[in-house]
Amino acid sequence: MAHVVVGLGNPGPEYRATRHNVGQRVLDLLAQMLGKSWRRDGQAMVARGQWRGEAVALVKPLAFMNVSGPVVGQTLRRQGADPADLILVYDDIDLPLGTVRVRMKGSHGGHNGVRSVIETLGIQEIRRVKVGIGRPDRKDEVSNHVLAPFEPEELPVVDAAVAAAAERVLALIQGP
């Protein structure tokens, strides 16, 4: 059974550099670390490999973030995996920029992509690696904030967080 690592984000080149797609940046780094390339598989881009003897499927849904749950469910079925094999990687507006946090379960915390996955799978016991993107000063700016690219001066912090998140994913795959 493979570990299925899903990077939440929005499809298309116009979203690639946005804050909301930082989870997919982590997966791009993991694919590079594993020496694997992306191939279309159903409604997702998938890169399959091994990490210290463990089978790994890296997955970037081709659905928009807020409706990615069905694609995650379909991908688990296609991989012959259970929700216990899933690791979600995504942005967290409630964490300061560059902070990386691992959670083994919990609510969606207001993140609509995570909400979609939880509703589809029917469980909250999902391993997660969250990457902080910071919160804007005003609530009405949230949508613009998550869909905006990082500022040039933020990129060194973001790159370090992406690397740290990739290491956390590999640690979860390796287990205790």
pTM equals 0.95
Residue 96 has pLDDT above 70, yes or no: yes
pLDDT reported for residue 176: 65
pLDDT digits (tens, 9 = 90+) for 23-66: 999 999 999 999 999 999 989 999 999 999 999 999 999 999 99
Identified catalytic residue from 3, 20, 108, 111 = 20
Taking the alpha carbons at both ends of the chain, their separation in whole angstroms is 17
Domain boundaries, given as residue ranges, for the chain: 3-174
pLDDT digits (tens, 9 = 90+) for 100-153: 999 999 888 889 999 999 999 999 999 999 999 999 888 778 888 999 999 999
CATH superfamily of this structure's domain 3-174: Peptidyl-tRNA hydrolase (3.40.50.1470)
Q: Is 20 a catalytic residue?
A: yes
Backbone CA torsion sign across 105, 132, 115, 4: negative
Can you give the pLDDT at residue 107?
Answer: 86
Long-range contacts, 161-167 (Cβ 8 Å, 24+): 161/22, 161/97, 161/98, 161/99, 161/100, 161/131, 161/132, 162/22, 162/25, 162/26, 162/29, 162/131, 163/29, 164/100, 165/26, 165/89, 165/100, 165/129, 165/131, 166/26, 166/29, 166/30, 166/33
